[in-house]
């Protein structure tokens, strides 16, 4: 399942290849020979399509420890984030117009909050500790009587830092505040039991867990006073929260990817932990290299490291054919240092010299060893070319 024989792909936080079993499932639903009917139609072709949607919802629900009725299909985590945050903020305006999020959130969250600020909502932007973790006391101090929503990412897409969602959620619920979680980087990768976690809304996407692009979901907890204002209008599909004809092949692919993830999660985590530790051991002795997150507090599929005196874009180019990133894929065209790392307290220079390695299910030991050699050689080469002759 290697994306290409010509590259070494270590950018799984950006996207993953679709699992061959998932591809097979989706192909069975394409064309006249498949169950191509509109799942909203009241005839046998529609009912067959609806059965695939219902099965996928059950597969995803089992992965998350919730009921299938709690899930709304979307086009991806970006849409899920928008629906959750804007839909809640508008519906709960009577409760208050104060919102809380973190400076290290994905653009699909930070830009939503900035849009709400322009609409008259007040946003408090929380800064994490140097290790990337949000201190509970910081959140407690920020919550006010008119706070109605908090949005916190589970696993950071640049550093892999995991937030203590259980503690953060308990803090929010004790004050009558709703918690939204962007779990795009953790669903299917880390255990999540929504029957036990104090999460009100959770966004996810298929293409981060070896499913297809273009399909995501939003979990909405069953609470008497938890309602959203829709962003789209049309048919009455999905409780009128997200109208439109459901893309059955994509949904079926998401469900199958979720089922595979549930079966493989323990093995995947052990595999990724071994490879991450090997990668860090192979580059950590280079002068000026620093790790930008605590492995004990992070998802093992991500490793973010900075190297002193070297600019990240130059290092990225020198690492070809190694496919890695200097930050979030959605922000790749921006030459500014990572806002996530700067919010953690790193200098502009350290943030500018950061590389994100993200490992995946198909990653091999040989690929990690090659990445180590490429990184070490690139650092040596760029330092030799530096004006001061740094070595």
Q: Supply the DSSP string of 305-354, one letter for each residue.
A: EEETT--HHHHHHHTTTEE-BSS-GGGTT--SPPHHHHHTT--HHHHHTE
Residues in the chain: 391
Q: Are 357 and 324 in contact (CB under 8 A)?
A: yes
Q: Are 200 and 180 in contact (CB under 8 A)?
A: yes
SS3 47: helix
**pLDDT means per 10 residues in the chain (391 residues)?**
72 98 95 89 93 97 98 98 97 94 97 97 97 97 97 98 98 97 98 98 98 98 93 87 94 98 98 98 96 95 93 90 78 71 91 94 98 96 75 38
Question: Under CATH, which number does the domain 20-259 receive?
Answer: 3.40.640.10
Find residue 98's DSSP bridge partners: 122, 147
Active site residue 171: no
Q: Choosing from 162, 171, 172, 330, which is the catalytic residue?
A: 330
CA-to-CA separations, 206 to 203, 255, 312, in angstroms, rounded: 11, 9, 29
Q: Which residues contact 387 (CB under 8 A, 6 or more apart)?
A: none
> DSSP code of 135?
P
Radius of gyration of the chain (CA): 22
Q: Are 275 and 365 in contact (CB under 8 A)?
A: yes
Q: Are 150 and 96 in contact (CB under 8 A)?
A: no
pLDDT, position 127: 97
CA-to-CA separations, 350 to 73, 306, 338, 360, in angstroms, rounded: 39, 6, 9, 26
What is the Cα–Cα distance from 193 to 65, expressed in whole angstroms? 5
pLDDT, position 334: 56
Region(s) of the chain under CATH 3.40.640.10: 20-259
Taking the CA atoms of 211, 212, 214 and 215 in sequence, report the sign of the dihedral they define: negative
What percent helix, strand, coil does the chain show, rounded to 5?
40, 15, 45
Instruction: Count other Cβ atoms within 10 Å, centred on residue 158.
Output: 29
pLDDT, position 335: 60
Q: Are 52 and 246 in contact (CB under 8 A)?
A: no
Find residue 11's DSSP bridge partners: 358
Alpha carbon distance, N-terminus to C-terminus of the chain: 38
Question: Under CATH, which number does the domain 8-16+265-385 receive?
Answer: 3.90.1150.10
The b-or-e profile of 19-39 (16+ CB within 10 A means b, else e) is beebeebbeebeeeebbebeb
What is the Cα–Cα distance from 291 to 356, expressed in whole angstroms? 10
pTM of this prediction? 0.94
pLDDT, position 3: 46
What is the Cα–Cα distance from 6 to 176, expressed in whole angstroms? 53
What is the Cα–Cα distance from 359 to 272, expressed in whole angstroms? 7
What is the Cα–Cα distance from 267 to 272, expressed in whole angstroms? 9
Strands 216-220, 71-74: pairing kind: antiparallel
Region(s) of the chain under CATH 3.90.1150.10: 8-16+265-385
Q: How many CA atoms lie within 13 A of 194 on its CB side?
A: 27
């Amino acid at each position: 399942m290697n994306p290409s024989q010509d590259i070494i792909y270590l950018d799984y936080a950006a996207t993953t290849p679709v699992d061959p079993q998932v591809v097979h499932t989706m192909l069975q639903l394409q064309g006249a020979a498949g169950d191509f009917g509109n799942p909203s139609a009241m005839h046998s072709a529609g009912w067959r399509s609806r059965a695939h949607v219902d099965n996928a919802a059950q597969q995803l629900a089992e992965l998350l420890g919730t009921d299938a009725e709690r899930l709304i299909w979307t086009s991806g985590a970006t849409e899920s984030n928008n629906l959750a945050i804007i839909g809640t903020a508008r519906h709960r305006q009577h409760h208050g117009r104060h919102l809380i999020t973190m400076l290290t959130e994905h653009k699909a969250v930070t830009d939503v909050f900035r849009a709400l600020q322009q609409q008259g909502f007040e946003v408090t932007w929380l800064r994490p500790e140097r290790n990337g973790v949000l201190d509970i006391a910081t959140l407690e101090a920020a919550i006010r009587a008119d706070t109605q929503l908090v949005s916190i990412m589970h696993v950071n897409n640049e550093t892999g830092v995991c937030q203590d969602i259980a503690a953060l959620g308990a803090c929010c619920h004790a004050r009558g505040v709703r918690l939204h979680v962007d779990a795009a980087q953790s669903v299917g990768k880390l255990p999540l039991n929504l029957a036990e976690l104090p999460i009100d809304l959770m966004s996810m996407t298929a293409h981060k867990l070896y499913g297809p692009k273009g399909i995501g979901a939003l979990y909405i907890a069953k609470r008497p006073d938890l309602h959203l204002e829709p962003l789209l209008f049309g048919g009455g599909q999905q409780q009128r929260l997200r109208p439109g004809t459901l893309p059955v092949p994509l949904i079926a692919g998401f469900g199958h990817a979720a089922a595979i993830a549930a079966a493989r999660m323990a093995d995947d985590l052990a595999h990724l932990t071994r490879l991450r530790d090997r990668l860090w051991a192979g580059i950590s002795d280079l002068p000026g290299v620093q790790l930008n997150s605590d492995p004990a507090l992070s998802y093992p599929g991500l490793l973010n490291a900075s190297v002193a005196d070297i600019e990240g874009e130059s290092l990225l180019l020198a690492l070809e054919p190694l496919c890695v990133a200097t930050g979030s894929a959605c922000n790749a065209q921006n030459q500014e240092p990572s806002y996530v790392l700067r919010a953690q307290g790193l200098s502009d220079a350290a943030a500018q010299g950061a590389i994100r390695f993200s490992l995946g299910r198909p990653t091999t030991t040989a690929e990690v060893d090659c990445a180590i050699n490429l990184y070490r050689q690139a650092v040596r080469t760029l330092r030799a070319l530096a004006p001061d002759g740094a070595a």
